[in-house]
Amino acid sequence: MTESSPLPPSDADFTRLRRENLGTDPLVAFQGWLRHAETNGEMNYPNACTLATVDPDGKPEGRIVLVKGVDDDSVHFYTNYRSAKARSLQATPHAALTFYWDGLGRQVRIRGGVEPLPDEVSDAYFRTRPRLSRLGAWASKQSRGLGSREVLEERLREMKERFGDGEIPRPPHWGGYRLVPLEVEFWAAGDHRLHDRFRFRREAPGEGWVVTRLYP
């Protein structure tokens, strides 16, 4: 196992979590676990996770989101900028992501600061979405009250008429966020609840990671 290849080469090697499996960069290790879940987890949405935030009143809240990108220093997700989660992130720009792959006995927790993605990154991702999903981003007033399903469907019809067969630009109220981790924890299920846990922590982005094995 090399530092640049944290993903074990076979399912047999994926039965216990050892420090050397994780390398020195937790985001590289996380991408390895995510790829493994995508190819071996037999699940519809291996990129689904719980996004936990704090609302403007200081109360915790969580919901499931789909992670749509991971780069060298951040994890990306997308939403309506007028949604409840966006209002929470504006009030408190910190969040936590929790991934759990039950069939693999694996969990990853990521915590850090959150900031909007550059417009060009959100534009590029929006163009990859199915056409109806792009229209839906225009039609939905996410997190606001809705009188009936028929109202939503009527708004979708209006958007279809508005854009016709032409290009659908990204709505100004819709885009991405990047979570820059300060803490990443890897958890692997063990017999008799004697799980393996390793936490990567740093004080600020760009600094080195300190790795600690945790009691289960």
User: Domains in the chain and their CATH numbers?
Assistant: 11-128+173-214 (2.30.110.10)
d(CA 7, CA 13): 9
Q: What is the pTM of this model?
A: 0.89
Is 129 an annotated catalytic residue? no
| DSSP class of 193 | G
Contact 174, 79 (CB under 8 A): yes
Looking at 193, 197, 202, 213, which residue is catalytic?
Answer: 193
Assign residue 150 a region: left if phi > 0, alpha if psi is -120 to 50, beta otherwise? alpha
How do the pLDDT tens digits run along the chain, 216 residues long? 333 344 443 444 456 899 999 999 999 999 999 999 999 868 999 999 999 999 999 999 999 999 999 999 999 999 999 999 999 999 999 999 999 999 999 999 999 999 999 999 999 999 999 999 999 999 999 999 999 999 999 999 999 999 999 999 999 999 999 999 999 999 999 989 999 999 999 999 999 999 999 999
Between helix 149-163 and helix 131-139 the angle, nearest 10°, is 120
d(CA 187, CA 203): 21
